[in-house]
Amino acid sequence: MGRNIPVRLVVVILLLGVICFFYYRYGLSPQLVQLGDLRDQATTADAKLSTLREVQGLHDAFVRQNESYSVWIDQLAQITPVVFDQHEHTRFLLDLQAVGKASGITYTSIQISDASMGQGAAAAQPAEVKLAKTVGVTMNFTAKNYATMRQFQDTFRTKFKYVMVSSNLTISHGTLGLPGESNPYTCSMTAWMVLSPDATIVGAPAPVAPVPQPDVVQ
Amino acid sequence: MITINLVPNARRRRQTQLTHEDRTLIFIVLAVLVVLAASYGYARWIVAQETNHLADLNVQIAALDSEQKLLDLNRALAQRSMAMETNIVTAVQLQVNTNQLLDDLAKDLPKVCTLTQTDITVLPGTVVLSASSSQFVDLVRFFNALSADTKFKDVHIDGYQIPYGTGAVVQGLQAQATMNLTLTWVGGGKNG
């Protein structure tokens, strides 16, 4: 009898250990995981609810702020268009002609490279120009003198309705006129009209997802 | 009284006497089982409470759906205007004042020289020039001045032409020496 008690004790302890293990593994642990998940969700929901109550308290202010945002976005869209379709294309061309006329230069040709007029694809921008969406513009023009040419450059960069980035400018100055005569300049300029990041160019092909590189076995 | 057990020995039920230690062990096992069951029940109860609380919060959130839409619109508009502003900032940083470049060139250009052609590639600032003068030495001065100017680098003569009179007197444009140069503009910065 004296030898049986320790054996029973050991068996009982082992049995309790096994019971506790299975209870924790399959009973309590899933409950704790579920509880933790529920508490996380409740915390998130609590924060969301308090935010919404705050919004509810400031409802009118939020409405006014959204209206201000919309007005501001419309204003930004004037200088970086959101859509570049044929309407925007022609509007831009007219604006370009107007700024040239106001500056006193004479265009000899203007080419707007985009997909909206069936010119294939939107013009590719140089690698250095890290802008999401642009439309290429090439202008050839003459200026009656150096001051006019400079004035157009300044106006085009700082006062034109759209945000433009020049990428190339060629200025040719031919025969010098006699004293008192004007010295005409012939210029060619390539520039980029900047579009809004989410702008769509009508007719442009959809971007192609990059093809994953195949693994190369060394 | 005498009790006579007539069941055979093999079938006779073993009547064991539970000792104090056995009862203690049984009690411990039962107590542990009760504790485990109670803790499981408590956990289930807490989970149920939390589920109800979450459901209640979700109902309250659903009741504020219009505010949620207002907030979502606010965030979307803020994000969009921020993206457009960032785009504009990037574009303005890329704008280069070409007049500033012409001014920098003019400072190095001797008065007797004339720039007949200037080709500027804004990025990375490559400039191709054609200059003319009646005296070649003035064009050399122009080249030297550009080379010494810290606003320019990689100044390189692509070619030049010097008219030499052979017999007949050479006049007008024919008498002009010309020089073609390539250089890189580094000093003007952006939006100068």
Instruction: Give percent above pLDDT 90 in chain B.
Output: 64
Helices (H), A58-130: 59-79, 86-103
**Mean of the pLDDT values across residues B35-64?**
94
**Looking at residue A197, what is its pLDDT?**
86
In this complex, the residue of B47, B98, B114 whose CB is nearest that of residue A176 is B114
* Distance from the first to the final alpha carbon of chain A: 74
Ranges A46-55, B13-22, B85-94, B154-163: which has the least confidence? B13-22
**Looking at residue B191, what is its pLDDT?**
46
pLDDT category at B21 given cuts 50, 70, 90 is confident
Contact status, residue A185 vs residue A145, Cβ threshold 8 Å:
yes
Return the structure tokens found at A6. Answer: 């320790």
| pLDDT surpassing 70 at residue B148 | yes
Q: What is the pTM of this model?
A: 0.71
CB contact under 8 A, B36 and A19: yes
How far apart, in whole angstroms, are the C-alpha atoms of residue B59 and residue B48? 16
Q: What's the sign of the alpha-carbon dihedral A104, A107, A111, A116?
A: positive
One pLDDT digit (tens) per residue for chain A, 218 residues = 445 557 878 888 899 999 999 999 999 999 999 999 999 999 999 999 999 999 999 999 999 999 999 999 999 999 999 888 889 999 999 999 999 999 999 999 999 888 777 665 556 666 767 777 888 899 999 999 899 999 999 999 989 999 998 889 999 986 655 555 666 899 999 998 999 988 887 776 666 666 666 555 44
Q: Which helix (H) or strand (E) holds B46?
A: helix B20-63
> What is the phi/psi pair of residue A108, to 5°?
-105, -25
**How confident is the model over B150-192, as pLDDT tens digits?**
999 999 999 999 988 655 554 555 578 999 999 999 855 454 4
**Looking at residue B164, what is its pLDDT?**
80
How far apart, in whole angstroms, are the C-alpha atoms of residue A133 and residue A163? 12
Return the structure tokens found at B19. Answer: 């000792």
CB contact under 8 A, A38 and B102: no
- Asked if B73 is an interface residue toward chain A (Cβ–Cβ < 8 A), one would say yes
Report the b/e string of A134-147 with b at 16+ CB within 10 A: bbbbbbebebeebe
With a threshold of 0.85, tell me whether the complex ipTM lies above it.
no
**Mean of the pLDDT values across residues B105-132?**
92
CB contact under 8 A, B87 and A59: no
Which of the residues B39, B70, B174 would you substitute to probe the A interface, choosing the one with the greatest number of A C-beta atoms within 10 Å? B70
Q: Which residue has the higher pLDDT, A214 or B4?
A: B4
Looking at chain A, which residue has its C-alpha nearest residue B133? Answer: A176
How far apart, in whole angstroms, are the C-alpha atoms of residue B39 and residue A20? 12
Specify the residue for token string 């050479």. B170
